[in-house]
Amino acid sequence: MIRFLFGFVLGAIVGASWATLMAPAPGRETRQRLEEAWRERTSEETRARAQEAVRLARGGVQTARRRVEEALKAGRQAQEEAEEEMQTRREEAIKGSEE
78 in a structural domain = yes
pLDDT above 90 covers a percentage of the chain that reads 23
Q: What is the 3-state secondary structure (H, E, C) of 56-85?
A: HHHHHHHHHHHHHHHHHHHHHHHHHHHHHH
71 in a structural domain = yes
pLDDT digits (tens, 9 = 90+) for 2-44: 888 888 888 888 887 777 667 677 777 877 877 888 788 788 8
Domain of residue 85 covers 30-98
Residue 27 DSSP symbol: H
16 in a structural domain = no
Tell me what pLDDT residue 55 has: 87
The one-letter code for the residue type at 53 is A
13 in a structural domain = no
How many structural domains compose the chain? 1
Q: How many CA atoms lie within 13 A of 25 on its CB side?
A: 8
39 in a structural domain = yes
pTM, two decimals, is 0.45
9 in a structural domain = no
Kindly report the length of the chain: 99
Tell me what pLDDT residue 74 has: 95
